[in-house]
Structure 1
Amino acid sequence: MGSIYLIRHGQASFGADDYDVLSPLGVLQAQIAGRHLADLDLRFDRCLSGDLSRQQDTARHALAQINAAGLPIPELETDASFNEFDAFAILEALLPGLLPEEPEALAIMSDAACNPAEFQRIFERIIDRWLSGSWDTPGLETWMGFVERVQAGLNRILELAKSQQNIVVFTSAGTITALIHSLTRIAPTDAFKLGWQIVNTSLSQLKFHGNEATLASFNSHVHLQLLKTPSLITYR
């Protein structure tokens, strides 16, 4: 059987004008993940990422560490199917409908860095509405559309994959959540309960045979835990 390693990007710039930029900690996390992959002596046959900056930069920093260890690395390929869902578009579309129940929501979401717990609570409420399909908005990618996009990316990998290949995909938490839902058939809300726990630069592994893939491990971040520095373990 072959393996597909799904690696979440490093910490992005939460609360900044441009979220899609690795923070200095995110760069360090990516470098640590790369050294961990090199220590495991993993030889990758293909390397892919979405086209978001935080995904591609995580890939570059991690792969540089693998290369520095003397291991071969394939050229990084881009597939936008592995992009994260557009959280800002979802917030813009669905937040107004939540204001009658949550009149402070706009202020909370506008200053997320000052109250991350309340931001997360409101964000989860909005995502629940998105998952339900009852609040679909013209022009906004639906939950099912997102799942189909991500699954199509996985299908393309499987169509080209050969037995016993190792493939790595640098992606995002929502993308991994969609794949968990698609592969295990658990409810979307339950998949997101797992998805909120996905650590920056954690590894989840799929095993595949032909066109069939199975979840083999989820959210491993031992490369961060072994350093015994809690500040390395982040979720945004």
Structure 2
Amino acid sequence: MAELILIRHGQAAFGSDNYDQLTDLGRHQSAALKQHLDRTGWHPDCILSGTMVRHSQTLKAMQLEPDDTHAGFNEYDFHNLLSVRFDGQTPTDVLQDRKTHFRILRDTILDWQGGGLEAAEESWISFKQRTSDAMSAAMTTQARRVLVVTSGGVIGQLVAATLNAPSATMVDLNLQVKNTSVSTFVFSKGRVSLNGFNATPHFDLQPELLSYS
């Protein structure tokens, strides 16, 4: 059996004009994870990531280089979904207040999954398919240990899909995913099983590093 870990990127710049960049905390989280992997002797044979800036910055802070990138590991465009929901006039508190943002985002994703938000740039069905394709590509390798840097929504969807859970489960998982958390899968001959979700052992002695956005 081979092992694949999905790592959520470090904390990004929530509430700023450009979310797609790490904060100083995000870089510290990434470095702490790399230190943990080194201590435990977990060294990847293959490193993949999405194509977003926050993905590449997470790997850079981990002092790792990707072997390849796959856009299927990119996050859904939550700014676009919210813009469609609010006819291009997303309220400021939805963009900048965390509690309000995640409450509204949850309802928005459920609407999207149910076939609403038809003007969105990406459909829910398309998101499911591209994330599934990315996971399949990551498992089509001779590597025994595969490390992937991606985003919370992608992790939530891939965990839900692996468990054959309802679509709505993805939302609940998505909103739990901590920055630089590790979700572990084992795979062989196209079959995949979940072995761990949202683990942050690298924060055990540094709880101040914990964040969700």
Q: Same fold (TM over 0.5)?
A: yes
Name the CA distance, whole Å, in 2 between partners of 1:8 and 1:161.
23
Name the CA distance, whole Å, in 1 between partners of 2:152 and 2:85.
21
Q: Does 1:201 align with 2:180?
A: yes
Aligned partner of 1:135 in structure 2 is 117
Name the CA distance, whole Å, in 2 between partners of 1:47 and 1:19.
24
5+ residue gaps, structure 1? 65-72, 100-104
Aligned partner of 1:123 in structure 2 is 105
Compare CA radii of gyration and give the structure with the larger one. Answer: 1
Of residues 56, 76, 82, the one that matches 1:85 is: 76
Residue 107 (structure 1) shift = 4.0
Aligned partner of 2:203 in structure 1 is 224
Among all aligned residue pairs of Structure 1 and Structure 2, give the percentage whose two residues are the same amino acid. Answer: 29
Query: Is contact 2:81–2:117 with CA below 8 Å preserved after alignment?
Result: no
Q: Does 1:9 align with 2:9?
A: yes
Give the letter for the 2:165 counterpart: I
Residue 95 (structure 1) shift = 2.3
Q: Alignment partner of 2:43: what SS?
A: coil
Give the letter for the 1:129 counterpart: D
Superposed, 1:45-124 pairs within 5 Å as: 45-62=45-62, 64=63, 75-96=66-87, 106-109=91-94, 112-113=95-96, 115-124=97-106
Query: Is contact 1:44–1:74 with CA below 8 Å preserved after alignment?
Result: no
Q: Deviations over 1:59-102 (max 9, x none)?
A: 1211x2xxxxxxxx6753211110111111111112239x9xxx
Q: Alignment partner of 2:86: what SS?
A: helix
5+ residue gaps, structure 2? none
Please tell me the root mean square deviation across aligned C-alpha atoms, in Å: 1.9
Name the CA distance, whole Å, in 2 between partners of 1:222 and 1:86.
29
Q: Alignment partner of 2:99: what SS?
A: helix
Query: Is contact 2:36–2:202 with CA below 8 Å preserved after alignment?
Result: yes
TM-score (norm 1): 0.84
Name the CA distance, whole Å, in 2 between partners of 1:75 and 1:177.
22
- The number of aligned residues is 213
Q: Deviations over 1:18-56 (max 9, x none)?
A: 100100000000000110111111121100110101011
Name the CA distance, whole Å, in 2 between partners of 1:87 and 1:74.
27
The runs of at least 4 consecutive aligned structure 1 residues that moved more than 6 Å come to none
Superposed, 1:181-196 pairs within 5 Å as: 181-196=160-175
Name the CA distance, whole Å, in 2 between partners of 1:212 and 1:7.
20
Give the letter for the 1:20 counterpart: D
Name the CA distance, whole Å, in 1 between partners of 2:66 and 2:125.
31
Give the letter for the 1:232 counterpart: L
Name the CA distance, whole Å, in 1 between partners of 2:148 and 2:60.
12
